[in-house]
């Protein structure tokens, strides 16, 4: 029995040491100087994204695209223009031809838009707002077409994924990816082929004079796409409550675990971690991380300072909030 008591006493002492080390780490984090933190965020200013003189906003796709719908909701009185690709939209902002661009970044059913994540890494733009749009896809065909006539379906890859369960019910239909849902609707209209259909919004059907052959074909009733407003002005507001970061970590054992612990120790809620491969490093990954917080808060400044010391690459993608 004496041996068991000695073991228990040693375990208790070990627990006390672990708690002591955690407490010391917390205190060390609190004492970190903010001087270097200011270097990280020096370019960010506190200003509402709507407080600028907004003359032009761009979106990817054509009229009737979901990006077009979001753009008109957020900027109903501003001149809007469509471009062909996500990169074109971002370049319009970087070149000063537009104040903002609207781009889809994630869908609740199909996941991230990987091309957009790659562009956010390469391009010097930041997220200044986000908007969640409920998506209800329709199957659109030329006037007089019926579902039995369809042989080929066009849409954006994300829309095809979101409707995968429905499309599996029609194994005889070929699926072809295009740049945009509305572009797909326009093609069906222009080709005037009764065997072609597009997966797009009801608005696209109205704009391109197509019949709705079926609706609500995404089986997830909660299907939602997250859109972001991108700017070359590095701004955040007092209301901003989400901070998005890109991290690259040293390829060392336990590194990701240690980095995630930094957020916990600072009382920050980590709401998303998305990994993307680093092409030039075989089976190594960079991480896109979303946390709740504002750049003006001390615990956020502590985290950014620690990350700057611990990671090999750090980029702030934006500090923003959701708009209705």
> Which of the 8 DSSP states describes residue 237?
-
Q: What is the pLDDT of residues 99-115, one digit of tens each?
A: 999 999 999 888 899 99
Stated pTM of the model: 0.81
pLDDT of 10 strictly over 70: no
Tell me the pLDDT of the chain averaged across its residues: 89
- Among the options 86, 227, 263, 288, which is catalytic? 227
Report the distance separating Cα 251 and Cα 283, nearest Å: 10
Residue 225 annotated as catalytic = yes
Q: Which of 27, 43, 39 is closest to 308 using CA atoms? A: 39
C-alpha dist (Å) from residue 47 to 203, 233, 297:
34, 10, 16
C-alpha dist (Å) from residue 256 to 235, 248, 249, 263, 316:
29, 10, 7, 12, 18
Q: Which domains does the chain have, with CATH numbers?
A: 1-44+236-320 (3.30.70.260), 53-127+228-232 (3.40.190.10), 137-215 (3.40.190.10)
Provide the sign of the torsion angle of the four alpha carbons 181, 184, 190, 194, taken in this order.
Answer: negative
Q: What is the pLDDT of residues 185-215, one digit of tens each?
A: 999 999 999 999 999 999 999 999 999 999 9
Band (152; pLDDT cuts 50, 70, 90)? very high
**pLDDT score of 96:** 95
Q: What is the pLDDT of residues 16-32, one digit of tens each?
A: 655 555 554 555 555 44
**pLDDT score of 179:** 87
C-alpha dist (Å) from residue 84 to 59, 80, 185:
9, 14, 15
- Among the options 225, 236, 287, 288, which is catalytic? 225
Residue 152 annotated as catalytic = no
């Amino acid at each position: 029995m004496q041996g068991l008591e000695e073991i228990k006493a040693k375990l208790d002492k070990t627990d006390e040491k672990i708690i002591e080390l955690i407490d010391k780490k917390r205190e060390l984090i609190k004492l970190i100087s903010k001087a270097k933190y200011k270097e990280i965020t020096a370019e960010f200013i506190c200003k509402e994204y709507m407080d600028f003189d907004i003359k032009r906003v761009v979106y990817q796709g054509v009229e009737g695209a979901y990006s077009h719908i979001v753009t008109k909701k957020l900027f109903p009185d501003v001149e809007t223009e469509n471009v062909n690709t996500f990169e074109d939209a971002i370049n319009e902002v970087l070149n000063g031809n537009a104040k903002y661009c609207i781009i889809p970044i994630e869908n609740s059913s199909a996941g991230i838009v990987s091309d957009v994540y790659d562009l956010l890494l390469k391009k010097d733009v930041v997220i200044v707002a986000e908007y969640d749009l409920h998506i209800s896809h329709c199957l659109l065909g030329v006037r007089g077409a019926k579902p039995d006539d369809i042989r080929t379906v066009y849409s954006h890859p994300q829309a095809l994924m979101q409707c995968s369960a429905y499309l599996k019910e029609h194994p005889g239909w070929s699926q072809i990816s295009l740049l945009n849902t509305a572009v797909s609707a326009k093609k069906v209209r222009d080709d005037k082929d009764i065997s072609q259909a597009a997966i797009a919004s009801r608005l696209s059907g109205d704009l391109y004079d197509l019949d709705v052959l079926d609706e609500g074909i995404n089986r997830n009733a909660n299907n939602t796409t997250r859109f972001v407003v991108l700017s070359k002005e590095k701004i955040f507001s007092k209301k901003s409550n989400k901070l998005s970061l890109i991290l690259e970590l040293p390829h060392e054992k336990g590194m990701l675990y240690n980095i995630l612990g930094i957020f916990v120790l600072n009382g920050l809620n980590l709401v998303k971690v998305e990994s993307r491969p680093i092409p030039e490093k075989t089976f190594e990954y960079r991480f896109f991380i979303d946390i709740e917080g504002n750049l003006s808060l001390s615990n956020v400044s502590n985290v950014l300072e620690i990350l700057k010391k611990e990671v090999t690459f750090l980029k702030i993608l934006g500090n923003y909030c959701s708009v209705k």
